[in-house]
Structure 1
Amino acid sequence: MTYKIAILGASGYTGAELVRLIATHPGIEIAALAANSKAGQAMGAVFPHLRHLDLPDLVTIGEIDFTGIDLCFCALPHKTSQEVIAGLPRDLRIVDLSADFRLRDPADYEKWYGNAHAAPGLQNEAVYGLTEFYRDEIAAARLVAGTGCNAATGQYMLRPLIAAGVIDLDEIILDLKCGVSGAGRSLKENLLHAELSEGYHAYAVGGTHRHLGEFDQEFSALAGRPVQVQFTPHLIPANRGILATGYVRGEAGAIHEALAAAYDGEPFIEVLPMGDAPSTRHVRGSNFCHVGVVPDRRAGRTIVIAALDNLTKGSSGQALQNANLMLSLPETTGLMLAPVFP
């Protein structure tokens, strides 16, 4: 059986990444592509690297007939996404790539995103889309909320350690570097080549980054008590990739064992041998996440490092992984492509 899907927001980076991944998926057909600002154009004109594909032209969301659409990917900005999804058919399965349904408490959403939630009833229905930890709930869900790419990276490093009780919950420092595609495709002065290249900088310093809402929600629920990490993201002059370095108090051996046990049999999470550090160049363009553990020179201190591609495992690849579960397809379908190197 072939399932028909629609992608809303297809002219952004995550929309294009979804098309790239789905193009060779044996069980999914792209039936509609929406991008209001570029409606009427061919997808190959907006993204020339996709011009070899036989794709429907871009249309407005209002032009899509959702009859016969089995699942919809919503790759729209936050706030816009909740408004659009609220107007979609109630029996339509949806994977949302925005931030709009990640936080379970509407008050938390308003705190981190600055506006009241427009569809709190749907927020209560949504399942958090970190696949490896919510697999059963995702398979049964109608609406899945994709995680933030930074939030996914930090959680792959830290969730097993919190669950196993092998680190001090009050001493977690997370230092993260992200490629510029994580900021989206819209024009921004600070993302111009002359502004960004030949250097990198910290942003949202001091605990203001919105993905902290996800860390607070998920880590505190896991620990059964409030957990707040110290987190600083950095923007680097690279197109893709996230590299996160965590500094924790705990024994390296126990930490490595906890990670290896948590991800034993997981197809997309690779725990490296003790002492090896991952690199973004080894996961580029793939749905894989590499996690490494290195003992610190100080006894009882350990460094945990994770790398993933923010557009794939951090967003569109994760979305397709979740869609596979929702459509009762093998979870890895369309996602086992090897990373691009060099």
Structure 2
Amino acid sequence: MTFSVAVAGCTGYAGGELLRLLLGHHGVQIGNLTAGGSAGTLLGQHQPHLSPLADREVLPTSAENLAGHDVVFLALPHGASAEIAAQLSEETLVIDCGADYRLEDPEAWEQFYGTDHAGTWPYGLPELPENRHTLGRTTRIAVPGCYPTSASLALMPAVTAGLIDGTDVVVVAASGTSGAGKSSKPHLIGAETAGNVSAYGVGGVHRHTPEIAQNLQRMGATNPTVSFTPLLVPMSRGILATCTAPLKDPTTTAAQARAAYAEAFADETYLNLLPEGVWPQTKAVQASNRVDVQVTVDPAVNRLIAVAAIDNLTKGTAGGAIQSMNIALGMAEQTGLPLYGVAP
């Protein structure tokens, strides 16, 4: 069976990555492509790498243009998805790549996003406990943020195995510039980013902070606390997240931590525990849906250290969205999703 798919926000980075992956997905047929200000142009003007779709007209983003498809991906700015989603049939599988439906706590949403909370949809991170069951029974999916994807998967085995309790979690994650979207921003031009690393969203104010804490709670942490600091680094795509937390049992060894991760990842296609002593690097996972993870223990401070590398546009957004779509539609979870990166 082939499912028809529409993509709203097709001219942005997330929309382009969705289309790149969907072109290699044998279970879908790409339907309408929509956007805002670029409506009326041809897709090839914005996504020249997608040559099979170069002559497609970009339509205005409206419920009318998105209706009638089996699946609708919303790769829209935060706050723009709710109005469109409300007009689409409950029978349509709607997958929001923005933040509108990620958070469960309305107060947290209003604090970090400054608007009314639209609601909460099933969370599109299949590897979290019980999520596959939920995703297989829904027509509405909220795709995680890219930073929460990396940090949550780096820490999940430690929480579920009881190595840490989710308090005093510190996450420092470096991301490429595509995480900020495709809109022109002076601080993202080449002259500003080349040879430069900068911190932003410091002091608990980044919007992904409550999402990371929410995920730790879903894993079983009772009262998680997270300090999250993102870094902007001069590369186009990728995230390297270094996550640390105090050990519940200070006698836990690096070998015991590694054993817990190996057990947790044993049946996961896209969660890859690297060989001992090998540390994740963003180049290794570029353009893939894989998550490379390494874990150890710092006995001097009794802290677990887990490092994860993902491609923010693939596993961090479009790949995670399609992985969730596959589950919701009853297809093999790995369909259309690359396991291996590209080099150089």
TM over 0.5, shorter chain:
yes
8 Å CA contact 1:286, 1:312 repeated in 2:
yes
Which of residues 154, 158, 162 in structure 2 aligns to 1:161? 158
| Partner SS, residue 220 of structure 1 | helix
8 Å CA contact 1:243, 1:308 repeated in 2:
yes
Separation in 2, partners of 1:110, 1:254: 40
Matches within 5 A, 1:63-74: 64-66=64-66, 68-74=68-74
Matches within 5 A, 1:19-30: 19-30=19-30
Judge which range, 282-291 or 216-225, deviates more. Answer: 216-225
Q: Does 1:243 align with 2:240?
A: yes
Query: Which residue does the alignment assign to 1:306?
Result: 308
Task: Please give the per-residue CA displacement for 1:66-113, whole angstroms capped at 9, x wherever unaligned.
Answer: 554101000001111112212222321111000000001222211111
Task: Please give the per-residue CA displacement for 1:275-326, whole angstroms capped at 9, x wherever unaligned.
Answer: 2211001000110000012343627434211000000000000001011111
Note the aligned Cα RMSD (angstroms): 1.7
Q: What are structure 1's unaligned runs of at least 5 residues?
A: none
Query: Which residue does the alignment assign to 1:141?
Result: 138
Q: Does 1:34 align with 2:29?
A: no
CA change 1:218–1:338 in 2 (3 A) is closer
Separation in 2, partners of 1:143, 1:169: 28
Q: Does 1:186 align with 2:183?
A: yes
Query: Which residue does the alignment assign to 1:288?
Result: 290
Amino acid in the other structure paired with 2:282: T
Amino acid in the other structure paired with 2:61: I
Separation in 1, partners of 2:309, 2:12: 23
Amino acid in the other structure paired with 1:132: E
| Partner SS, residue 109 of structure 2 | helix
Separation in 2, partners of 1:96, 1:168: 30
Q: Does 1:58 align with 2:55?
A: no
| Partner SS, residue 240 of structure 1 | coil
In the TM superposition, structure 1's runs of 4+ consecutive aligned residues that sit over 6 Å from their partners are: none
Matches within 5 A, 1:179-328: 179-250=176-247, 251=252, 252-296=254-298, 298=300, 300-328=302-330
Separation in 2, partners of 1:157, 1:41: 41
Separation in 1, partners of 2:228, 2:66: 41
Task: Please give the per-residue CA displacement for 1:243-292, whole angstroms capped at 9, x wherever unaligned.
Answer: 01122333322221221111111111101122221100100011000001
Cα offset for 1:230? 1.8
| Partner SS, residue 69 of structure 2 | coil
| Partner SS, residue 95 of structure 2 | strand
8 Å CA contact 2:62, 2:84 repeated in 1:
no
Query: Which residue does the alignment assign to 1:128?
Result: 123
Aligned residue pairs, count: 337
Q: What are structure 2's unaligned runs of at least 5 residues?
A: none
8 Å CA contact 2:257, 2:296 repeated in 1:
no
Judge which range, 291-300 or 176-185, deviates more. Answer: 291-300
8 Å CA contact 1:215, 1:228 repeated in 2:
no
8 Å CA contact 2:45, 2:54 repeated in 1:
no
Separation in 1, partners of 2:332, 2:30: 18
CA change 1:152–1:197 in 2 (3 A) is same
Provide TM-score, normalisation by structure 2. Answer: 0.93
Separation in 2, partners of 1:91, 1:268: 29
CA change 1:223–1:325 in 2 (3 A) is closer
8 Å CA contact 1:103, 1:109 repeated in 2:
yes
Query: Which residue does the alignment assign to 2:77?
Result: 77
